[in-house]
Structure 1
Amino acid sequence: MGSTPTFGGVAIDCPDPAALAGFYRALLDWAEPDVTPDGHWARLANPLGGARLEFQRVVDYRAPEWPSTEKPQQAHVDLDVTDLEAAHERVLSLGAKLLDDSPKTFRVYADPVGHPFCLCAC
């Protein structure tokens, strides 16, 4: 079963992860976010369990316009796995394309129409 992912969370591009996480923390009445020391990533844990919200800093961030094809929505899905290698093989067999395998604890893929997502063994 290690090759079947579970829904981990959604990562949202933004210029200031701590600030945006603070907004959603207040909106949802969740606990304070965990923010990496460099400030490039913030994570809000769902107090009821389940999916988390994550925020990643993007240099020269351009806010999406809805609806728009010029500046589409900017987010990707993180899927948690216990066996990254088995999950990697499975997702490729389903039609995903590997975009980045340089990180040690996660890999970035594109779904069949190009939306990015990550398999995370973090």
Structure 2
Amino acid sequence: MIGRLRSTVIDCPDPRALAGFYAELLGLPQVADDDGDWVVLGGPPGHQPRLAFQRAADLRPPDWPDPERPQQFHLDVTVDDIEAAEQAALALGARRLPGEGPGFRVYADPAGHPFCLCWD
């Protein structure tokens, strides 16, 4: 095991509105984080389930099952040692993508889906 699932993240135009929908749908009323552009339902990292919503102003919503407009989400994976986790993920076939911030780096899985390795 390289890491633990931190959050499932869904891109959307209005994170608060979509978080409200899923809070009711899934019974996850606790908002763990909300800055308007990033809203998380559930507890702190390491407490499952966590569902996060990220602002994507120009989102082209999916049109299932049209492959021209596929499903859109990414995984956040908590790791203890980012350098070791990165090397292990790359060895499995991941590739580093542009973008990182305090506490996360962005990668693509072998099929091209983005995911983040996160640390506290």
TM-score (norm 2): 0.88
- Once residues 79 and 69 of structure 1 are traced to their aligned partners in structure 2, the CA distance between those partners, rounded to angstroms, is 26
Counterpart for residue 95 of structure 1: 93
Q: Is 1:44 aligned with 2:35?
A: no
- TM-aligned CA deviation for residue 61 of structure 1: 1.3
- Once residues 56 and 88 of structure 1 are traced to their aligned partners in structure 2, the CA distance between those partners, rounded to angstroms, is 23
Counterpart for residue 107 of structure 1: 105
2:74 to 69, 73, 76: 76
Partner AA of 2:55 in structure 1:
R
Q: Is 1:35 aligned with 2:4?
A: no
Counterpart for residue 11 of structure 2: 13
- TM-aligned CA deviation for residue 70 of structure 1: 1.2
Contact 2:30-2:43 at 8 Å conserved across structures: no
Contact 2:42-2:51 at 8 Å conserved across structures: yes
What fraction of aligned residue pairs are identical, expressed as a percent? 50
Partner AA of 2:41 in structure 1:
L
Any idea what the Cα deviations from partners look like across 1:10-67, whole Å, max 9, x if unmatched? 100100001100111111222232211xx110001159x3231000000211110100
Q: Which runs of 4+ in 1 moved over 3 A?
A: none
Partner AA of 1:42 in structure 2:
V
| 3-state SS of 1:86 partner | helix
Q: CA RMSD in A?
A: 1.8
- Extract unaligned runs of 5+ from structure 2: none
- Extract unaligned runs of 5+ from structure 1: none
- Once residues 10 and 52 of structure 1 are traced to their aligned partners in structure 2, the CA distance between those partners, rounded to angstroms, is 7
